């Protein structure tokens, strides 16, 4: 990774009710983990406030998840999140690591776009975001 | 049950992602089923419209669930819901049946109260509800 | 689509507890819908029995979701699922339609691979699946 | 509370995907929090190992939740869990506190019973549990 300073870290511990009937974390739960990583980053950088102040909303257009290894009960994980820009799109590159083994268990890419709150038409990324990319 | 005409029926089929690591429907999912039964009843009787028109909100104060039998993948269930009044409280009496066996698998009681939208103070049950009790 | 006979249809109705804080179906819930579509297809075609009898397990390696339109409370949806083969991979091509509008609201691609139950090594798709591709 | 030393504390932070369409933590999510508190206690005291070694399983028969205050995004909560015995039943008394305000937001009581793994008949609480009650 070329921008180590821009990576955001969110710890997560696997909870009993997140396991599926095979005893592993269910596929859809990884999306919850990734989403938690993004909310956590938004809070730290006060990005919700910027979005609100610039009269925009942000919507997800695409999600891609690569499942690499299983997560099990009580595993201590870490979601690593960074943002890149691709035209009008703000893209979240995320990885989930198992803290004990140090190995990546999943990789995610979440593509989002900003809409003007009024017109719901696509608009550019708020300039206040640029320093975090 | 003394008011058979006032019972509302909602069919539900157990989905794969609702199973826990023991292969049974997770305890918290029963609350989803009960909630779905209430939303379904609200839609049929247009109760959300009444609540909105009378400037109230409805909040849950207590939930009690009695777990009686397991639910497994693909089971066809039925949530039966009726409403009773207890002072200011509107109480939902709910049961989940397995349609194949005819046996009850869980019983729920959900206690709710209406608040005035403005003041957030407890208020009475809208009179339009009375015919459904 | 070139194989209309091989498409599997699963009806789903949006439930109140599936909405997020914006009043829309949460992103992760779409994965639940897609998963339900696959479990439903597996039941109809008795695929779990085949997997079990051939001493395999099936694991998800990749999920891609394209979000196209919002889903709201009480929307009646339909998940359409078909399977294709790509080398060792069994790929589920899925779409969610709004039955009222007839419009697609999301598209999903779920890539899976079979492992031998004993060795956990990748193995080929059971030949009994071929007629359904 | 008369047994302060027997109380187990589990921190939880409210996550974005746990909010419902009213912007509050959904009712069913509280059950997840309570369940997480119990799994956390079981891990610390190695109770799963005891249950397994004594050839029992533990099942939930009743849940009662009293909702007292709302939980909102990013709230830092604490689940406090203690166990008491009531005949054959092992009962979990749980409370969720908001760490900022110090106020209780929900109270839960989860009634469980042990079954012999083989016969699925009710059996007594493993004696190794007694010191934790």
User: B26 to chain A: which residues are within 8 Å by CB?
Assistant: 17
Per-residue pLDDT tens over the stretch C38-62: 999 999 999 999 999 999 999 999 9
Buried b (16+ CB within 10 A) or exposed e, D76-93: ebbbbbbbeeeeeebbbe
Query: Would the pLDDT of A47 be above 60?
Result: yes
Per-residue pLDDT tens over the stretch B4-14: 569 999 999 99
Query: Would the pLDDT of A109 be above 70?
Result: yes
What value does the CA radius of gyration of chain A take, rounded to a whole number of Å?
16
Residue C100: inside a domain: yes
Instruction: Look up the pTM and report it.
Output: 0.89
Tell me the residue ranges of DSSP E strands in chain C: 8-13, 56-67, 76-86, 89-98, 104-116, 122-123
Q: What is the pLDDT of residue B2?
A: 47
Per-residue pLDDT tens over the stretch B4-43: 569 999 999 999 989 988 889 988 899 999 999 999 999 9
Best mutation target, D27, D61, D105, to test chain B (most B CBs within 10 A) = D27
Cross-chain Cβ contact A67/C62 below 8 Å: yes
The total number of structural domains in chain B stands at 1
Inter-CA distances, A68 with A71, A76, A96, C97, C125, Å: 10, 16, 10, 30, 20
Note whether A77 and A98 are within 8 A (CB).
yes
Q: Which residue has the higher pLDDT, D3 or A93?
A: A93
Per-residue pLDDT tens over the stretch B104-116: 999 999 999 999 9
Residue C69: inside a domain: yes
Nearest chain A Cα distance for residue D123, angstroms:
24
Return the number of other C-beta atoms located less than 10 Å from residue D42's C-beta: 19
Q: What is the pLDDT of residue D119?
A: 95
Candidate from A32, A61, A65 with C-beta closest to C63 = A65
User: A109 to chain C: which residues are within 8 Å by CB?
Assistant: none
Please report the number of interchain residue pairs, chain A to chain C, with beta-carbon separation below 8 angstroms. Answer: 44
CATH number of the domain at A54, please.
3.10.129.10
Q: Which residues of C touch D (CB under 8 A)?
A: 16-17, 19-23, 26, 28, 73
Confidence label for C5 from pLDDT (cuts 50, 70 and 90): low
User: A75 to chain B: which residues are within 8 Å by CB?
Assistant: none
Inter-CA distances, D98 with B52, D15, D64, D75, D79, Å: 30, 14, 20, 7, 9
Is residue B109 exposed (0-12), middle (13-18) or buried (19+ Cβ within 10 Å)? Answer: middle
Please report the number of interchain residue pairs, chain C to chain D, with beta-carbon separation below 8 angstroms. Answer: 22
Q: What is the pLDDT of residue B20?
A: 86
Q: What is the pLDDT of residue A1?
A: 44
**For helices C27-45 and A27-45, angle between their N-to-C axes, nearest 10 degrees:** 180
Q: What is the pLDDT of residue D1?
A: 44
Residue C68 and residue C103: Cα distance in Å, rounded?
Answer: 9
Please tell me which chains touch A, using 3 or more CB pairs under 8 Å as the contact test.
Answer: B, C, D
Residue C96 and residue C103: Cα distance in Å, rounded?
Answer: 9
Provide DSSP, B57-84.
EEEEEEEEEEE-S---TT-EEEEEEEEE
Q: What's phi and psi for C3, nearest 5 deg?
A: -125, 65
Cross-chain Cβ contact B19/A23 below 8 Å: no
Q: Kindly report the average pLDDT of chain B as a whole number.
A: 93
Residue C4: inside a domain: no
Per-residue pLDDT tens over the stretch A55-90: 999 999 999 999 999 999 999 999 999 999 999 999
Per-residue pLDDT tens over the stretch A3-41: 456 999 999 999 988 998 888 998 889 999 999 999 999
Query: Would the pLDDT of A100 be above 50?
Result: yes
Where do we find the tokens 């999140």? A81
What mean pLDDT comes out for the span C97-104? 97
Please tell me which chains touch C, using 3 or more CB pairs under 8 Å as the contact test.
Answer: A, B, D
What is the distance in angstroms between the CA of the first residue and the CA of the last residue of chain B?
A: 13
What mean pLDDT comes out for the span C124-128? 94
Tokens coding D117: 């793994």
Cross-chain Cβ contact A31/C32 below 8 Å: no
Q: What is the pLDDT of residue B5?
A: 62
Inter-CA distances, C110 with A64, C89, C113, D91, Å: 10, 10, 10, 42
User: C38 to chain B: which residues are within 8 Å by CB?
Assistant: 16
Cross-chain Cβ contact D17/C23 below 8 Å: no
In the three-class reduction of DSSP (H, G, I as helix; E, B as strand; rest coil), residue A9 is classed as strand
Provide DSSP, A32-73.
HHHHHHHHHHHHHHTHHHHHHHTTEEEEEEEEEEEE-S---T
| Low-confidence winner among A16-30, A31-45, C89-103, C104-118 (lowest mean pLDDT) | A16-30
Query: Would the pLDDT of C75 be above 70?
Result: yes
What mean pLDDT comes out for the span D50-77? 95
Residue C3: inside a domain: no
Candidate from C27, C63, C67 with C-beta closest to A27 = C63
The parent domain of residue C50 ranges over 9-132
Best mutation target, B12, B14, B18, B39, to test chain C (most C CBs within 10 A) = B39
């Amino acid at each position: 990774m070329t921008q180590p300073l821009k990576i955001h870290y969110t710890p997560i511990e696997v909870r009993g009710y997140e396991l599926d009937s095979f005893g592993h974390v269910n596929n859809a739960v990884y999306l919850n983990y990734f989403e938690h990583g993004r909310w956590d980053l938004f809070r730290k950088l006060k990005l919700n406030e910027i979005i609100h102040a610039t009269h925009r909303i942000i919507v997800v257009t695409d999600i891609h998840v690569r499942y690499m290894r299983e997560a099990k009960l009580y595993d201590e994980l870490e979601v690593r999140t960074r943002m890149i820009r691709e035209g009008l799109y703000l893209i979240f590159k995320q990885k989930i690591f198992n803290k004990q083994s140090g190995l990546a268990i999943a990789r995610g890419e979440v593509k989002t776009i900003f809409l003007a709150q009024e017109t719901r038409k696509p608009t550019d990324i708020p300039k206040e975001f640029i320093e975090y990319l």
